Structure 1
Amino acid sequence: MKPRIFRLDTLAGVLALALSTVAFAGQAPGADSAPDVPVSHHDRVYAAEQFSNTVSVTDPADNRLLGVIRLGDPSPGNFSPLYRGQVLVHGMGFSPDHKTIAVVSIGSNSVSFIDTATNVVKHVTYVGRSPHEAFFTPDGKEVWVTVRGENYVAVLDGTTFEEETRITTPAGPGMQIFSPDGKYGYVCSSFNPETDIVSVADHQIIAKVKQDSPFCPNIAATPDGKQVWFTLKDVGRTQVFDAKPPFRLLKTLDTGPITNHVNIVRNANGMFAYVTVGGLNEVKVFRTDNYAQVATIPVGNLPHGLWPSGDGSRIYVGLENGDALTAIDTMTNKVIAQVPIGQAPQAITYVPDAVPDGDGMQNLQPLGLAGNTAHIRLVSANAKAQPSGNSPTSVALFDQGLLQVLQASVTGLDPKQPYVLGLSDHPDGSGAIEGLANFMTNPAGSAIVNAIGQIRQVVSVNDPHSDGARRYLVIAPQMAGKPGPVVQVQAL
C-alpha cells in the first residue's frame, strides 16, 4: 500500500482540532459531526457573477482575488446566434469531496462543472429553461438542478454529470438543499407558495410546507439536521420549519426588503442563521434556538449570496451592486475585509481544501473589464441631503465596453404599484422624463430593475466619454401610462 503523506499545515490543523472543543464542529451543508477545517491558503471562495459571466476565485487566508474563470462574454457580444459561451452566470454548489464546483448559467440553461484544483471546466450539461441552483447530494452520487423556468428538478449523475431523471414539482422550483444525512431534499419554489420535501432514495415528494409568498430564492439546512430556513424575496421574510416529519412551520421572521440568501454558522457562541437583506444593505444574524436577532451588519450595496468558512470563523457575502466580496468575523460580527471581484455576484460558495497542492492559479484570468462599474445613489425627492447610508435605492452601471448594464436595487416605494426608472434633464426631475425601464414593486415596496445602454455617459459627471449634456436618473409613478411626479432623484 502506498504510504500516505501529510502536509505540515494539515497536521497542524488536525492538532488544533484535537486540542479544541469539538462541540462546535460541522458547517453547512455538512453534518455537525464533520470536523471544522481552519482557514488556509488551500481554501477558496467562489462567486458566480451575472453580468461579467465570470466566476471569481479568492484566497480567504489573505482575502486576495486570485483571478476569474471566464465562462462567457459581456453584452452585446453574447447576443450573437453563433455565441457559444455562458450567459447570466448565477447559481453555484460544490461536491462533497470539494473537488468540483457546479455553476449554473440561467441565460444559457447550463451547469458548468469546474475542477477546483485547476480551474478547468471539465463538463457542461444543458438542462431546461432558466435553471437556478445546483447542488450535490451528500453522498456525491447525484446533482440536483432546479429548473425554475419549468416544473422540475433535473437529477444528474454525480460522476458523468449527465441527466438521469426528473422530479416533477409545481412550476418554478427555486433552490434545493439536503438534510445532512442525505435522506431528504428540500425544494422551495419561486412561483408557487410551497416548499416540497423529497425522499432522496426514490425521488418522491413526501410532504409540503406552505410558504408565506410564492418567491423563495434560497434555502439552507442546519448541520444538526433539525431545521430548514428559507427566504422570501418579495415580502421580505425568512421562515423556518422542522427538518423532520411532520415538517411543521416553526417561525416566520420579518427580515426586510429584498431578503436574498440565508446560511448557517456554528461557533463557540452557538448556531446562527445569517440572512442577506438587499434593500437595507445589511446582513442580519439570528440564533437558531430562540430566533432572537443578535446582530445587524452593514456590508455594502445589495448583499446577495453568502457562505461560511470551513470552521465557521467567517462568513463571506457577495455584494451584487458593489462588485465585492465582504468577509465577516462571526465571533464579533464585524466586517474584516472587502475584496473587489466581478460584476453582480449572485451565489457564493466557500470550499475548504479546494486546492490541496500547488498555488491553484492555473487557467485564471485577470479581472479586466469585469472590474469596471460606476455606482450611483437615488434618494427621496423630498430629502436630497439624505445621508448616504440611508439611500433607498442603489444603482450599479456594469461596464460591458461601449454599453452598461444598469441594475437598480429599489426600495422605499409603495407596494404593488407601477413605476418608471428614467432620465430627466434636471436634477430635481422636473420636465419630461425619458423612460429606461417600467417596473412593478413587490409587496415590500421594492424591486430589482434592469436596463442596458450607454447610460454612464450621460448620468456620470466624471465620465470621460460624456458629451457634456448631462442627465439624471429618476423614479416616478406610472399614472395613466405616463410618468407622474418624481419620487426619487439622483444624489449629487
Structure 2
Amino acid sequence: MNRQFLKTLLATSVVVMSSSAFAGQAPGAASAPDIPISHHDRVYAAEQFSNTVSVTDPVDNKLLGVIRLGDPQPGNFSPLYKGQVLVHGMGYSPDHRTIAIVSIGSNSVTFIDTATNAVKHTTYVGRSPHEAFFTPDGKELWVTVRGENYISVIDAQSFKETMRIEVPAGPGMQIFSPDGKYGYICSSFNPETDVVDVADHRIVAKVKQESPFCPNIAATPDGEQVWFTLKDVGRTQVFNAKPPFTLIKTIDTGPITNHVNFAVTAKGTFAYITIGGTSEVKVYRTDDFSEVATIPVGNLPHGVWPSGDGTRIYVGLENADALAAIDTATNKVIANIPIGQAPQAIAYVPGAAPNPDDRANLQSLGVAGQVAHLALAPKNQAKGEKPPTSVSLFDQGLIQVLQASVTGLEPKQRYVLALADHADGHGAVEPLAAFMTNPAGSAIVEATGPIRQIVQGSGKAERRYLVVTAGEPSKLGAVMQVQTP
C-alpha cells in the first residue's frame, strides 16, 4: 500500500465521518459527535463588494484563496454582465459537500462543490434574496426572498424551485430545528417571526418581534431555544423552539446587532452575538442569559459560526476585510485573517475538503485585498476615546465603495455624510449620502466614487475631509462628526 493511497484513504475516512452527521454544534444537534479541527475543514465567507467567497484553513488560520463569483464596480454595471452582484448569504448541506451562496443584487443562489471549489449550478429566484439554508435531511434549500413575500423552496438535487411558502413581506433568514421538524423565519420588514412545519410547509405559529428588522436567526443545538437579532433597535430575542413558541427573553445587546450563533463547550452552551456598532462580540449563557464576556474583534463584526468541536468561533469583520478566530476557552481573539471585501455570512464546514492540499478553482485576492480605513468622531471627543464611526473604502480599481458604520448620533434623525474643505468641517461641504439613523442612533451608509484619492490625497488643493452633518443635502445643519487624523 503506497503513501499516496494511504493519504487518499485517510482523507476519505475523515470526510465520511464528518458527513455522517452534523457535529454537536450549530446548526446540528447537540447529541451528534464533535469533529476536531483539521486541515480538511474550511471556513467560508461571502464578500459582497468583491463578489467573492473566501476559503480559509482553520488549522493554520490561513486564507487559501477566493472563489470569484463576479466582478467589482463598474464592470458589474454593464447590461451584458453575467456574474453575481452583492455576494451575501450562505448555507451548507448536511453532507458538507455543497455550499449555497446567495447574491442579493443578481437574485441568485450559486451551488458550489466544497471538494473542488467549482460552481455546480446557479438558480435564479425572486427579487433580493438574503439568506439560504438546507433542511437537516438535505432534500431542500430554503431561500428567504427578502424583496418579496415568500420562501423559495429549491430541490437540492435538481436545483429547481418546487414551491413557495408565503410569509409577510421581507423575510430575513430561516433556520431549522436540529430535528428538522420546524423552520423558523424572521422578518426584515415586519415584526413577525413565522414557525413552519417542514413536512407540509405550513405556518403553524407566529412570534412577535420587538422591531421589524431581523437579519439573522439561529437555533440552539439542544433544540430548546431560538435566538434572533434586531439590527435596528440593538436587541436580541429568545423564544421557545417548541410549542407554544413563547417568548423567553429580550436582551439589550447594542447598536447594529448583526448575527448570533452558538458554541457547545464543557462549561455549557454559549451564544456569540456580533455587535457592529461597538466592534465587539458579546457572549451569553443560554441557561440564565447572563453576559459572560465582551470581546473586541475589529470593525463592524457581521457573520459568526462555530468550529465543528466548539473550540473556536469565527467572525467576519465587514469593515476590516478580515476573519477573526476566537478561542472559546478564553474568549480571546487568536488570529486575524485577511479575506475579501465586506464579509457578510460565514460558515465553518468540517470535512469540506477530501484533499486538503487541493487549491483547484481558487484565486488570489487581487484588488479585493485593497482597502483603506478611516474613522469619524465628534470634534470635542476626549483624547484616547474610540471613534464611534468606522469607514472602509473598498477598492474597485479606479473607484471605491465607501461604507460607514455610523454610531453615536441621535435616534431616528436625518444626517448627511459629506466631504468638507477643512478637517474641522468648515468651508464648502459636498454631500455624498443622506441617511436616517435607526432607533439606536446608528446607520450603515454607502457611497461610490474616487473617494480615497480625495480624502487621502497628498495635494492640499485637492484634499477633502469626511464629515457627518445634521439635516438634509438641500439644507445642511451642524457638523456632528469629523475625520480623525
Q: So what's the TM-score if we normalise by structure 1? A: 0.94
The one-character-per-residue Cα deviations of 1:348-388 (angstroms, maximum 9, x if unpaired) are: 0000000122423101000000000000000112227343x
Secondary structure in structure 1 of the residue aligned to 2:478: coil
After superposing the two structures, state which structure 1 stretch, 446-455 or 423-432, moved more: 423-432
Match of 1:75 in 2: 73
Match of 1:20 in 2: none
Match of 2:55 in 1: 57
Contact 2:47 2:341 in 1 (8 A): yes
CA RMSD in angstroms, aligned pairs only: 1.7
Query: In structure 1, what is the Cα distance between the partners aligned to 2:39 and 2:27?
Result: 21
Match of 2:340 in 1: 342
Secondary structure in structure 1 of the residue aligned to 2:26: coil
Query: In structure 2, what is the Cα distance between the partners aligned to 1:467 and 1:400?
Result: 25
Query: In structure 2, what is the Cα distance between the partners aligned to 1:398 and 1:386?
Result: 27
Q: 1:468 to 1:192 in 2, by over 3 A?
A: same
Contact 1:93 1:102 in 2 (8 A): yes
Match of 2:390 in 1: 394
Within 5 A, what are the aligned runs for 1:16-35? 26-35=24-33
1:382 maps onto 2:380 in alignment: yes
Secondary structure in structure 2 of the residue aligned to 1:486: strand
Cα shift at 1:431: 2.0
Contact 2:11 2:354 in 1 (8 A): no
Match of 2:446 in 1: 450
The one-character-per-residue Cα deviations of 1:251-290 (angstroms, maximum 9, x if unpaired) are: 0000000000000110111000000000000000000000
Query: In structure 1, what is the Cα distance between the partners aligned to 2:401 and 2:282?
Result: 29
Match of 2:3 in 1: none
1:437 maps onto 2:433 in alignment: yes
Query: In structure 2, what is the Cα distance between the partners aligned to 1:83 and 1:258?
Result: 33
Contact 2:434 2:472 in 1 (8 A): no
Contact 2:232 2:438 in 1 (8 A): yes
What count of residue pairs does the alignment treat as equivalent? 473
Match of 1:214 in 2: 212
Query: In structure 1, what is the Cα distance between the partners aligned to 2:348 and 2:440?
Result: 31
Which of 305, 308, 327 aligns to 2:306? It is: 308
Match of 2:113 in 1: 115
Q: 1:167 to 1:9 in 2, by over 3 A?
A: closer
Contact 2:293 2:331 in 1 (8 A): yes
Match of 2:267 in 1: 269
Query: In structure 1, what is the Cα distance between the partners aligned to 2:390 and 2:236?
Result: 23
Contact 1:379 1:386 in 2 (8 A): no
1:474 maps onto 2:477 in alignment: no
Query: In structure 2, what is the Cα distance between the partners aligned to 1:480 and 1:132?
Result: 30
Match of 2:329 in 1: 331
Which of 245, 248, 252 aligns to 2:246? It is: 248
Cα shift at 1:6: 5.3
The one-character-per-residue Cα deviations of 1:313-372 (angstroms, maximum 9, x if unpaired) are: 000000000000000000100000000000000000000000122423101000000000
User: Unaligned stretches of 5+ in structure 2?
Assistant: 1-7, 18-22
Secondary structure in structure 1 of the residue aligned to 2:453: helix
Contact 1:384 1:491 in 2 (8 A): no
Cα shift at 1:203: 0.5
Q: What percent identity do the matched residue pairs reach?
A: 74
The one-character-per-residue Cα deviations of 1:150-180 (angstroms, maximum 9, x if unpaired) are: 0000000011111000000000000000000
Q: 1:9 to 1:293 in 2, by over 3 A?
A: farther
Cα shift at 1:33: 1.3
Which of 217, 227, 239 aligns to 1:229? It is: 227
Match of 2:277 in 1: 279
Moved over 4 A (4+): 8-11
Which of 420, 426, 438 aligns to 2:422? It is: 426
Contact 1:260 1:275 in 2 (8 A): yes
The one-character-per-residue Cα deviations of 1:193-214 (angstroms, maximum 9, x if unpaired) are: 0000000000000000000000
Cα shift at 1:9: 10
Letter matched to residue 50 of structure 2:
S
User: Unaligned stretches of 5+ in structure 1?
Assistant: 15-24
Query: In structure 1, what is the Cα distance between the partners aligned to 2:13 and 2:113?
Result: 21
Cα shift at 1:10: 5.9
Letter matched to residue 450 of structure 2:
Q
Q: 1:261 to 1:190 in 2, by over 3 A?
A: same
Query: In structure 2, what is the Cα distance between the partners aligned to 1:296 and 1:367?
Result: 31
Letter matched to residue 36 of structure 1:
D
Query: In structure 2, what is the Cα distance between the partners aligned to 1:478 and 1:386?
Result: 29
Q: 1:164 to 1:394 in 2, by over 3 A?
A: same
Cα shift at 1:481: 3.8
1:7 maps onto 2:10 in alignment: yes
Q: 1:485 to 1:344 in 2, by over 3 A?
A: same
Match of 2:401 in 1: 405
Q: 1:468 to 1:39 in 2, by over 3 A?
A: farther
Query: In structure 1, what is the Cα distance between the partners aligned to 2:177 and 2:355?
Result: 31
Match of 2:82 in 1: 84
Q: So what's the TM-score if we normalise by structure 2? A: 0.95
